[in-house]
């Protein structure tokens, strides 16, 4: 009896499918500005540095300035 219970337990564990799923997301649209204009302002929000001009916030990256939501 014990042997058959172990056998069915192992069989169940091997046949059970994984609960993990893979979700592929579409790439997001990113706006990159190569150079900042002359009239930008540096603002700090929650300790992070942002560049503000034209009513929008940007973060400085190696590729340029990326538009972000604050």
Q: Please choose, from the candidates 24, 62, 38, 29, the residue with its C-alpha nearest in 3D space to the C-alpha of residue 51.
A: 38
pLDDT, tens digit, 9 for 90 and up, residues 4-30:
777 667 666 666 555 666 667 777 788
pLDDT at 48 over 80: yes
| Residue 52: predicted pLDDT | 95
| Residue 9: predicted pLDDT | 73
d(C-alpha 58, C-alpha 18), whole Å: 41
Give the full edge-to-edge strand order of the sheet including 41-45.
32-33, 65-68, 56-60, 48-53, 41-45
| Bridge partners of residue 58, in order along the sequence | 51, 67
């Amino acid at each position: 009896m014990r042997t058959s219970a172990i056998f069915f337990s192992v069989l169940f564990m091997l046949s059970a499918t994984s609960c993990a799923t893979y979700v592929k997301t579409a790439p997001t649209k990113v706006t990159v500005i190569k150079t900042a204009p002359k009239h930008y302002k540096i603002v700090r929000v929650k300790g992070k540095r942002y560049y503000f001009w034209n009513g929008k916030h940007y973060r400085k990256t190696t590729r340029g300035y990326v538009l972000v939501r604050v």
